[in-house]
Amino acid sequence: MAKDKRTAFFISDGTGLTVEAIGHSLLAQFRQEHVEQVTLPYIDSTEKVGLVMQRIEHSARESGLQPIVISSIVADEIRAQLHRSSALMLDVFESYLTPLASLFGTDPAQSVNVSHGIANDSRYSERIEAVHFAMDNDDGRRVREFDRADVILVGVSRSGKTPTCLYLALQFGLRAANYPITEEDMDSTALPKILRPYRHKLFGLTIDPERLMSIRQERRANSRYASREQCEFEVRQVEQMLRRSQVPYLNATQLSVEELATRLMSQAGIERRVD
Amino acid sequence: MAKDKRTAFFISDGTGLTVEAIGHSLLAQFRQEHVEQVTLPYIDSTEKVGLVMQRIEHSARESGLQPIVISSIVADEIRAQLHRSSALMLDVFESYLTPLASLFGTDPAQSVNVSHGIANDSRYSERIEAVHFAMDNDDGRRVREFDRADVILVGVSRSGKTPTCLYLALQFGLRAANYPITEEDMDSTALPKILRPYRHKLFGLTIDPERLMSIRQERRANSRYASREQCEFEVRQVEQMLRRSQVPYLNATQLSVEELATRLMSQAGIERRVD
C-alpha cells in the first residue's frame, strides 16, 4: 500500500470476479492509473470482514486518500459492518436487492449463490465435455470431430484461436474446434478440402500483420515464421480465402478473448449451451 | 418470451459478461425460477437500443409483468434512452459514476473499456502463454515442465483438474500443470516420485465418490473405471496421499470452476500474473 496512492478494494463473499470486473470498468472511465486495485474474495464472516476493515483504514491513513470499496456481500450483518468503514462504499447488492424485493414481493434469501457448482450436474458436465472437446480438437492435431462441433475457428497460427475456443467451452459450454491455416493450404485461396463440408460452421480470426509479428517473435525470435514478409503473406492469403468462401470473420488485434468469444457468437448467431 | 413469465434483460455495450453475472447472483437471492433471462451484449448505438426497447415492451405486454433491466452502458445518450422503458431499471454505471466522479474531481470518459484487448501486449501474451502451458502440461501427457509451473494440480481422473488449470491460465495468466494420480501410483500413499521435487507447488483436488461415479458413468458407462468400488478406492487413496504429504487440497464436489480457481489461489497464497 504505497504512500499517496489511493486503493480500491473489490470485496465479495464469493469469487470476487464479478465485483472486480465492475470495478475495472468503472475505474477505466476515470483513467486513474494511480489507483491500486485489490480483490478480496470469500469475505464471508465477521472475523474476515474485521481484517478487511483494518486494511481499509490502514490504506486511508498511509495514503491520506479515501479508499474506494466496491462490494457484493449477501449477508446483512457482514454488509452492515463493512459500511462502517471510512471508504466510499459502492455496494452492488444493497443498491439492487431492495427494488427487486419489492418487485417480487419476497425477501432476499441472504445465501451465497452456489448454483454453478459441480453439483449442478448437467451444466457442469456440458462445460467440461466442451473443454475436453476443445482440447482434443485443437490445431487439428489429435482428432477432427468437426461433425460434433458447434463452431470451427480458422486462421493463421497465433491469431487467438485456441484461447477463444477454450473460453467458448468454459463460459458457454460450446464445442469449438479450431484448424490452423498453414502454408500448405495457401497455394490457392480456396478453402482446404477438409473444411469444405463444414463451411456453415466456420468462423475466421484474422489479425494485423504487425501484431502477429510481435506475438510470433516472442515465440520464435528472428525466424522466417515471425518475419514481416511471412506474416503479411499469411494474413493476406487467409483474408482472401475467408472472403472468397464468404466465411464470417473478426479481426482479433484489438479484442480480448472474452470479446472475441461473445462477438463471434453474436455475429454467427450461435446460442450458448449453458447459462 | 412466454406468457406469464417475467423477463430480466442484462444489457451492456460490451461483452455483457459482468452485468449477466450480477444479474444471476441478484436473481438467485429470490429463487425466481420463472424469470426468463436474456443477455444482450454490444448495445452501443441508439439504433440497437431502439430494438432492445421494442423487446422490453413486447415482453411487458405479453407477460403482463414488469420486465427487469440490469445494464451497464457508458454513453449518456444511450443510457438515457434505455431509461425511458417501462422496466425496473438497475443501472450499474449510473449508480456509481456520479460518486466516483466527485471523489476523483473529474468527469467520466464515457468510452467503452478496451484495455483488455490483444493490443495490450504483455497482458495478452502472458495469458496466451499460460493457456498453451496448461494445454501442453495437461494430464502429464505431452510435456512435464514442472519447473516452470506456478502450480501443479493433482487428483484422480475427472476431479476437475483440466478446466481449473485452463481457467487459472485464461483469467489470471497462471501457469498451471496437472498430473492425474492413476492406479499405478496407488500402491503406496507416498507421492509419486516425479512429483516429489515439486511438493511446494502441488495442490490437490478431491471429489465425493458418488459424484465421481456419475461423471465417469457419463464417459464410460458400466466400466470398472466408473464403478462405485473403484471411485471409492481412488478417492480414499488420493486423500490419504495428500494428507500424508501435507499437500493442501479442496473438495471440488460443490464448487464451480471459478470457485476452485479462486479458492485454491487464496488457500495456497498464489498471486495472479495479470490483472
pLDDT at residue A3, as a whole number: 62
Cβ–Cβ of A254/B100 closer than 8 Å? no
Distance between B74 CA and the closest CA of chain A, angstroms: 8
pLDDT digits (tens, 9 = 90+) for B63-99: 999 999 999 998 889 999 999 999 999 998 888 988 9
Cβ–Cβ of A95/B90 closer than 8 Å? yes
Which triple of cell numbers denotes residue B139?
494430464
* Residue B98: partners with Cβ closer than 8 Å, 6 or more residues away: none
Output Rg (C-alpha) for chain A, integer angstroms. 24
- Helix H or strand E segment including B202: strand B202-206
Residue A120, burial from CB neighbour count under 10 angstroms (0-12, 13-18, 19+): middle
Which triple of cell numbers denotes residue B263?
479458492
∠ CA B140-B143-B144 to the nearest 5 degrees?
65
> Per the annotation, does B158 bind a ligand?
yes
Reduced 3-state DSSP string for B128-180: HHHHHHHHHCHHHCCCCCHHHCCEEEEECCCCCHHHHHHHHHHHHCCCEEEEE
Block residue for cell numbers 447459462: A275
pLDDT digits (tens, 9 = 90+) for A112-153: 554 444 445 677 788 888 999 999 999 876 778 999 999 999
Residue of A nearest to B105 (CA): A30
CA distance A101 to A186: 60
Write the DSSP assignment of A200-245 as a string of letters. GGEEEEE--HHHHHHHHHHHSTT-STTSHHHHHHHHHHHHHHHHHT
If you average pLDDT over every residue of chain A, what do you get? 90
Which triple of cell numbers denotes residue A204?
475466421
Backbone phi, then psi, for B220, in 5-degree steps?
-140, 85
Cβ–Cβ of B160/A42 closer than 8 Å? no
Q: Which of A103, A253, A263 sits opposite B88 (nearest CB)?
A: A103
Phi-psi region of B8 (alpha: psi -120 to 50; beta: other; left: phi over 0): beta
Do residues B238 and B156 lie in contact, with contact meaning Cβ atoms separated by under 8 Å?
Answer: yes
pLDDT at residue B116, as a whole number: 44
* Interface residue of B29, B103, B156, B218 to substitute, partner A, most A CBs within 10 Å: B29
Distance between B53 CA and the closest CA of chain A, angstroms: 18
Residue A263 has pLDDT above 90, yes or no: yes
- The rounded Cα A28 to chain-centroid distance in angstroms is 17
Query: Between residues B114 and A103, which one has the greater pLDDT?
Result: A103
Pick out chain B residues at pLDDT < 70.
1-3, 110-121, 141
Residue A1 has pLDDT above 80, yes or no: no
pLDDT at residue A274, as a whole number: 86
Phi-psi region of B91 (alpha: psi -120 to 50; beta: other; left: phi over 0): beta
User: What's the first-to-final CA gap in chain B, in angstroms?
Assistant: 38
Do residues B178 and B153 lie in contact, with contact meaning Cβ atoms separated by under 8 Å?
Answer: yes
Residue A218, burial from CB neighbour count under 10 angstroms (0-12, 13-18, 19+): middle
Residue of B nearest to A219 (CA): B129
- The closest alpha carbon to A78, from A97, A88, A91, belongs to A91
Contacts of B14 in chain A (CB under 8 A): 25, 259
* Interface residue of B10, B12, B25 to substitute, partner A, most A CBs within 10 Å: B25
Cβ–Cβ of B92/A92 closer than 8 Å? yes
Cβ–Cβ of B30/A256 closer than 8 Å? no
CA B89 → CA A216, B19, B33, B92, distances in Å?
Answer: 46, 13, 20, 9
Fold assignment, B121-268: Rossmann fold (3.40.50)
Which triple of cell numbers denotes residue A157?
497460427
Q: Which of B17, B163, B166 sits opposite A258 (nearest CB)?
A: B17
Do residues B94 and B77 lie in contact, with contact meaning Cβ atoms separated by under 8 Å?
Answer: no
Cβ–Cβ of A118/B72 closer than 8 Å? no
CA A193 → CA A181, A184, A255, B3, distances in Å?
Answer: 12, 12, 30, 47
Distance between A12 CA and the closest CA of chain B, angstroms: 12
pLDDT at residue A275, as a whole number: 76
Distance between B89 CA and the closest CA of chain A, angstroms: 9
- The rounded Cα A38 to chain-centroid distance in angstroms is 19
Residue A209 has pLDDT above 70, yes or no: yes
- The average pLDDT across A247-264 equals 94
pLDDT digits (tens, 9 = 90+) for A228-246: 999 999 999 999 999 999 9
* Interface residue of B19, B30, B133 to substitute, partner A, most A CBs within 10 Å: B30
CA distance A232 to A150: 30
pLDDT digits (tens, 9 = 90+) for A9-66: 999 999 999 899 889 888 888 877 689 999 999 999 999 999 999 999 999 999 999 9
Block residue for cell numbers 497455394: A187
Residue B221, burial from CB neighbour count under 10 angstroms (0-12, 13-18, 19+): exposed
Contacts of B254 in chain A (CB under 8 A): 114, 117-119
CA distance A89 to A67: 9
- The closest alpha carbon to B163, from A118, A70, A160, belongs to A118
Cβ–Cβ of A74/B256 closer than 8 Å? no
* Residue A144: partners with Cβ closer than 8 Å, 6 or more residues away: A137, A177, A179, A194
pLDDT at residue B118, as a whole number: 44
Pairing of strands A176-180, B176-180: unpaired
CA distance A28 to A13: 24
Distance between A97 CA and the closest CA of chain B, angstroms: 7
Residue B193, burial from CB neighbour count under 10 angstroms (0-12, 13-18, 19+): exposed
CA distance B137 to B125: 18
Contacts of B104 in chain A (CB under 8 A): 30, 32
pLDDT at residue A62, as a whole number: 94
Q: Residue A17's CB: how many other CB atoms inside 10 A?
A: 20
Cβ–Cβ of A259/B121 closer than 8 Å? no
Contacts of B109 in chain A (CB under 8 A): 28-31
Q: Which of B114, B166, B256 sits opposite A131 (nearest CB)?
A: B166
pLDDT at residue B140, as a whole number: 73
Cβ–Cβ of B117/A255 closer than 8 Å? yes
pLDDT at residue A170, as a whole number: 93
- Helix H or strand E segment including A52: helix A46-63
Contacts of B75 in chain A (CB under 8 A): none
> Per the annotation, does B156 bind a ligand?
yes
Show me where the domains of chain A are located. 7-104, 121-268
> Per the annotation, does B122 bind a ligand?
no
CA distance B20 to B38: 9
The one-character DSSP state at A270 is: P
